Every structure is written in C-alpha cells, then in structure tokens.
Structure 1
Amino acid sequence: MDESERADLRLPRTRHPARCPRRILSRCRVVPPLQCPKRVGRRRTQRRSLTGTLYVSDYVYFDHNATTPVDDRVLAAMAPYWRERCGNPSSVHRAGRLARQGLDEARLDIATRCGVAPGSVVFTATGSEADNLALTGLIPRMKHRRVAVSALEHPAVLEAALRLRGLGIAVEVIGATSSGQVDLEDLARILQTPTDLVSVMAANNETGVIQPLDEVAGLVAKAGALLHVDAVQWPGKQRGKLADLPGDLVTLASHKIYGPKGAAALVLRKPLVIEAQIVGGPHERRRRAGTENVAAIVGFAKALALVEGQGDHDLSRLAAWRDDLDRLALDLGLIVAGQGSPRLVNTTCWVMPQIHGETLLMKLDLAGFAVSSGSACSSGAVKPSPVLQAMGFSQEAAKCSIRISLGRETTSGELDRFSRVLPGIIAALRGG
C-alpha cells in the first residue's frame, strides 16, 4: 500500500464543533447520544443491595464466581487515588510519595493477611497474569525441568503449562476423582519422579469443590517440590483464613471478592527468585514491570479485609441456600457435580442430561437471571467443560451444565423466584 492509499484510510482529527470549519461539518455525520429505551407494560423498580449498589429488581445476578459488584466501602477507599493522590508511585515528589504510601499500606495489609513479609507480595493486573508468572517465572530455577498441574485447573494455569511444554519442560497432568477433587494417588505416582512445581487450585471455579490442600501440600513437600495454589475463588466463600492456606506461591484476585478489576497478586511464601514476564522497569522488585494501579490495589486490600472479617452467619446463610438449590436440582432430575465433596458455600454446578447449558443460560437470561456455563474465561464458546470431563462426565454431558454462584447481596426472594421459574423452563426444554 503506497502513501496515497494510506492517506485515504486516515480519519480526520476530531475537533470541537465550535471550532470545526463549515466544510468539514458538512461532511460529518452527527451521532446522537445513546438513549435507554423506555420499558413498556412493566414497572421498573430499584432496590439498594447490602453493599449499597443499585440493582434493577427484575434482574438477578447469580454469577459471583465470574466477578462481583464493587463494595461501596471499597469504592470509598479507592476514591482519593483517582484525584487527590493520583501521582505515580515511582515519582519522588509529594504526589508520588502519597501514592506510594497508599501502595505500601495496601501491600502490608495483604501481606499480613497472607502471613508473609510485604516484599513477598507481587501485584499484577489479573489472576491469570499471576498464574502465568507463577509457572513461567520459575523456569530459570527449575532443576528437573518438570511440573505437574491438576486437570481441574483454570485455563490460565493449563495454558501456561502448555507453554512450558513448548519450551522443553515436561508437564504431567494430575487426574481427578469423580467427586471433583484431585486424585492424590495419581499425584503421589507423579511425584515419584523429581518435579520442580505442582499447581493445584484451592477451590474449583465451576463446581466449587474444595481441594484437599493439606494432603497435597504434604506430598509435594515430601517430594521436595514447590506448590502453587490458585486461590482466586477462596476468600470469603468458606471458613478459614488465607494465612492458614498451604502453598509456596498463592494467586489472589480483587474482582472475585467485591473489589475492582485490574488488581491481583502472586504471594510468595518462600524467598523465591521470580523472573519477570513483563519487563521495562524496576517495579515490584523487578518481578513485574509497569506502573502499579494504585487505586485498584488499595481497593483490593480493602475488599480482602472485608471478606476476611465477615461473620460465620453470612457463610451459613449462603451454604443453606446452596443446599436448597441442590435439592431443587435433584427434584428436577439434574445432577449436582461434586455434591459429595466439600464445596464453596456459594457455588453449585448442575449437569443436565440432554439440555445444553448455553440454551438454558439464554432462557434464564431472558427470564431475568444471570448464571454461567463453566468458566467465564471460556464460556464465550460452546464447548464441553474440561473440569467435568476430568470428573468422568462424557463430552456431551460436559456441554450440559450451568453454574450458580450466589453473593452477599443475594436475597431469599430472588431464590424463591428462581425456584418458581426454573421448573417451567426445564420442562419446556425437555419438550414436556
């Protein structure tokens, strides 16, 4: 393409209408601002949730394992770092020092809750990035050039493992049991051969099944390997503190715990040398280059403090509602994946013979309910769930699942309405 052809593709610079010449205005197409259509024949009401966020009352959000609404208290903590304390934390002037103070305080708070020193917290933008850093950042110190990952892992871990395999590192996949937990016998077999790193998540994002991390950690330590734990789904959804969670490297993410998107962390429980995957500066002790998202990180620390401080009553309430949903599913002839295993209090995953999960998801969406079919990172395509396949479900059955994940703003009224609506949708999809 020559220079004249490139020039034809260039768009004119946008100018304010008051300063735009008449000849250019005559060629411009004026686009009106977006308007929200008025709803006809249906009253639109609003209510205030437990976190203070406004929700439309006729739409229910049951997809909290995908992401969560930001808590108002988190927003309040973040607000100064968008305006008054907006400096670059690497700058030496007063504005930079104020931003650095907020970053350091957030790092100390998160580190304390994880039982590590502040320098052991590496901030990233996403949980997927932290997972990638955990696996690929250890390549230079891999003596045996061998890692093992469970078949139940998030795609961020599984695809990072594939990248390692392409670099000549042996990758073993640990099998799963039909109950949705990692197969400890298979792990023990794999660890008979010297291994550098094992990656097993704390709780599965699709089924909610909690993994036997104490047993896993014992086997891994005995073999002299490191243990990476993706704990993105862990905080606030079960009883226990992060400081008690096993793992030499632990991944956390803000947006799963009522914090903002754009902040996550890889927590190092040992003095490990991690090679940066993003280079270009001394940030995060040269383990992750790029200006830190101070506002999001401050919100992350506040969100973690809130979920770690919640009472058992909230967890018991969610667990009771999850069990009610399980009974509803069984009454409808559905299969509750991992029902016999310990699970996150807010999560249930249903396998529905002969009903595609994507079809039911769309029907429920039209009826006013947001649910998920598998991992949000891969649910854009209709394909069988690798997690359910690892548990022994057929490829066809693994396409026929939905996940319901409740949150702190979920109400009994929403669940009652869901219980009334769902049977009719299931019957229609079955042709009954």
Structure 2
Amino acid sequence: MSACAAITFSPCGSTAKTTPPSGREFPRLVIYLDYAATHPMTATALSAYAHAAAVPGNPASIHAAGQAARELLEEGRAALAAALGVHPLTLTALSGGTEADNQVLLSSFPGAGGHLITSSIEHSAVLAPARFLAARGVAVTFLEPDASGQIDPEQLREALRPDTKLVSIHHANNEIGAVQPIAELAEIAHAGGAKFHTDAVQSPGVLPVDLLSWKVDYASFSAHKWGGPLGVGLLYVRRGLDLPPLLLGGGQEKGLRSGTQNAPGLYAAGLSLREAVAAQLQTHAHLRALNDRLTARLSGHANVRANHTPAGSPKVASFTALGADGEALLMNLDFAGVCVSAGSACSAGTMQPSHVLSALGLSDADALATVRLSFGFQTTTGEIDEAASALLRAATASRA
C-alpha cells in the first residue's frame, strides 16, 4: 500500500494539484520517495514519447506512416540494446516486468514435470507463476535468504536436481535492496544443466547491469523504473534460445509477443535508458549519500529499526516503526505529504505482511509497521531530512 496514492506526482518539493472530475483542486506539498514503485518520466522520456506519438502509423503497416513508426520502434530498441550491451534482436518489447517474468516461467514449463528453483523473496511477478506451476505438477524449490536478504550460492548448488529446468533469482530486491551475485548463481545453474533468469527491474540507472558477463539466459526489465513510460517492458533472451509465446495473434516481436507494438513507448524507453545508464555512477553516488543520511538520522531512535542492507542498492531503504499501527503510519505520512510504500507497490491495498520481511524473520506486527522509502536523482537532502522528521512524528502518532 502506498501513501500519497490519491495524489498526482509533481516535481519534488513543489505544490501538486490534483484535479478530480468535479474540477475542484487540492494543492498538496509532496515529497515523493517511492521511486521503486515508479520513477516519474524524465524530461527526455516525455519529449521522446511526444515526438514518437505524433507519428500515426502502426509499426506493422507497410505504408510510409507505418514504416516511420517502425523506424522509431527499432531506434528505441537499438538504444536499449546499446545501453544494456546486447544485440537488439535479443530484446522483446512487452508490457512490463510482470509479463516478462511470466513469459519466462510459464513458457519454460509448458506441462507438468520438471523442477524450478527461485527464492522466497522474489517479486510477486515471479512467485505467483511459480505457485501456479507448482499447482500444475512442477516441482518448485524456494531458496531462503540469510538475515541480510542474501541468497547463498551453495544453497542453490545443493538444490539443483537432474530435472531442474530453470533458476530465477532477482538482481536487486525491491523492498530491502539486497543485491544477489548473479554471475555466480548463473554459473552454478548452468553447471547443473539449468537455464538462468533474473528479474533486473530495479537495477538499470542505479546498479551496473552486464548481461553478457553475467551469462544469464533471460532477464526482465520495466521502463518506468528508470524514468521511461509506464506499460513498457523488455525481455532479454540470449541468442540461440527460443521460448514459446504466451500471446498468439499477429506474430509481432519475432512471434514471441503478438500485439500492436508500442512504438512511442519503446522509443521513449530507449532514449531514457541511454541517459540513465550514462549517469549511473553519479546517480548511484547521490542515492548512496541520501540513503546513508536517512539511515543516520533514524538510527539513533530505539523504536525505529532499519531492514535494508548497507551493501545493497542505495535506491531503497526500509524502516520498521516498532509498536506502530501500519495503516495509521502510512496515513500519517500521507497527511504529512510524504509518499512512501508499505512493501511492494504491487501489493497496494492489501495491508498484508510483506513476504520479504517475513522471510527475514520479522513478526507480522513488525512487518505491517514497516515502510519503504526509495529515491531518485531528483531527491534532495532537504527532502530526506523532512522525511526523517515526518517518519518519527508519524511513528509516535501511530502508537497511540
């Protein structure tokens, strides 16, 4: 569940105005700290999208307008491929990370039998299809993390079986920021005869992504996590591999993903990823400073406990307000104009304990009293300081 869920985003620290159908305006001062849920579209992405959206053609049409749209689509794909260091033909455009994860897992197990290995702290876009496969007769092993959220490579080695077809482990966790040793895990999976998939949705523009040196077979990405448009995802499939499609129809995307292609979205995604990757070192340093500053501001308070790992992604921080009511905590932060999440944004509205925090050993009460704050290059130190003070006030008010 996200605080500030009813407010449209405006640049950090400015007055946001939400205009409902009635026409009435609600000015709010917003500190947006939910970049792990979605990164606001950058100026580059907005400009690129507007430019491409002005071209009326369907990329599958052979007339001039269609071919103009096709040119923009492939220019976006080429920019994405260059930013990720892979060949453009290895990238399939689809609707987001959830579809990419489902595509890999479900297509890898078209029938009963076989063995899947994943972890208990994956995003629900991996866990839900894993459980679906388990119900259809696929054996599924869920690796457990240590107290810092790390998956032990030796645990993977011991879990491999002769019938293991796929291992799916994410790169950076979306709730606590733990970063997994993908290259080592992929090597172990391959030694056991299995393919390897990683959900790297939270990584581009913040952490180095090197699909070729990682030697992964599949990888999932989502443009709105780095400042591209919503509804644009990528699936990397190593050259020489094939997956059966989940969607049948016009045969777009080399037959893997039928449906009219989103040329404006892919073009904007490509240009914004190129920009994000070019600035990755500076962004990482900025986010690290923000994360450290927030952690230092809150670490001296006995009733606030950090859950994120200092060695993990600097984009994400997680804090438990011990003894607080979780729903009241989010509401009080919302009233203070601080936009955060309780766990993953995809579980918004459920107010269920986070499966990630439960896997780390937190009680249900503590997991429900936990908030995730996540940062972007636009976040300022002043906003971090205000957010820290607001969190402490909200925690106190939520214990009453």
After TM superposition, give the deviation of residue 244 of structure 1 in Å. 4.4
Residue 114 in 1 paired to residue 102 in 2?
no
Residue 269 in 1 paired to residue 238 in 2?
yes
Moved more, 210-219 or 126-135: 210-219
Q: Could you tell me whether the CA contact under 8 Å between 2:113 and 2:137 is conserved in 1?
A: no
Structure 2 counterpart of 1:376: 345
Residue 289 in 1 paired to residue 272 in 2?
no
Distance 1:356 1:67, change over 3 A: same
Q: Could you tell me whether the CA contact under 8 Å between 1:237 and 1:315 is conserved in 2?
A: yes
Residue 66 in 1 paired to residue 54 in 2?
no
- Give me the whole-angstrom Cα distance separating, in 1, the residues matched to 2:364 and 2:189: 31
- Give me the whole-angstrom Cα distance separating, in 1, the residues matched to 2:363 and 2:389: 30
- Give me the whole-angstrom Cα distance separating, in 2, the residues matched to 1:158 and 1:382: 18
1:139-195 CA distances to partner (integer Å, 9 max, x unpaired)?
25x896111111111001001111212322111111111111123332121114431
Structure 1 counterpart of 2:180: 211
Q: Could you tell me whether the CA contact under 8 Å between 1:80 and 1:86 is conserved in 2?
A: no
2:291 counterpart SS class: helix
Structure 2 counterpart of 1:28: none
Structure 2 counterpart of 1:19: none
Structure 2 counterpart of 1:154: 123
Residue 337 in 1 paired to residue 325 in 2?
no
Superposed counterparts of 1:149-298, under 5 Å: 149-239=118-208, 241=210, 244-298=213-267
1:244-268 CA distances to partner (integer Å, 9 max, x unpaired)?
4442100000011101011101101
Residue 133 in 1 paired to residue 103 in 2?
yes
User: Which consecutive residues of structure 2, in runs of 5 or more, have no partner in the other structure?
Assistant: 1-19
Structure 1 counterpart of 2:6: none
Identical counterparts, % of pairs? 34
Q: 2:24 aligns with which of 36, 40, 51?
A: 36
TM-score, normalised on structure 2?
A: 0.90
After TM superposition, give the deviation of residue 210 of structure 1 in Å. 0.8
Distance 1:110 1:203, change over 3 A: same
Residue 420 in 1 paired to residue 389 in 2?
yes
CA-based RMSD: 2.0
The code of the aligned residue for 2:125 comes to: A
After TM superposition, give the deviation of residue 235 of structure 1 in Å. 0.7
- Give me the whole-angstrom Cα distance separating, in 1, the residues matched to 2:45 and 2:261: 18
Distance 1:362 1:36, change over 3 A: same
2:351 counterpart SS class: coil
After TM superposition, give the deviation of residue 298 of structure 1 in Å. 0.7
After TM superposition, give the deviation of residue 241 of structure 1 in Å. 4.8
Relative contact order higher in (CA < 8 Å, ≥ 6 apart): 2
- Give me the whole-angstrom Cα distance separating, in 2, the residues matched to 1:373 and 1:244: 34
The code of the aligned residue for 2:382 comes to: G
Distance 1:352 1:420, change over 3 A: closer
2:364 counterpart SS class: coil
Pick the structure with greater CA Rg.
Answer: 1
After TM superposition, give the deviation of residue 389 of structure 1 in Å. 1.2
The code of the aligned residue for 1:97 comes to: Q
Q: 2:57 aligns with which of 77, 87, 95?
A: 87
After TM superposition, give the deviation of residue 115 of structure 1 in Å. 3.2
Distance 1:79 1:266, change over 3 A: same
Distance 1:368 1:144, change over 3 A: same
Q: Could you tell me whether the CA contact under 8 Å between 1:209 and 1:344 is conserved in 2?
A: yes
- Give me the whole-angstrom Cα distance separating, in 2, the residues matched to 1:38 and 1:169: 51
- Give me the whole-angstrom Cα distance separating, in 2, the residues matched to 1:77 and 1:195: 43
1:223-251 CA distances to partner (integer Å, 9 max, x unpaired)?
11111000000011224555544421000
Residue 392 in 1 paired to residue 380 in 2?
no
TM-score, normalised on structure 1?
A: 0.83
Q: Could you tell me whether the CA contact under 8 Å between 2:205 and 2:283 is conserved in 1?
A: no
User: Which consecutive residues of structure 1, in runs of 5 or more, have no partner in the other structure?
Assistant: 1-31, 40-55
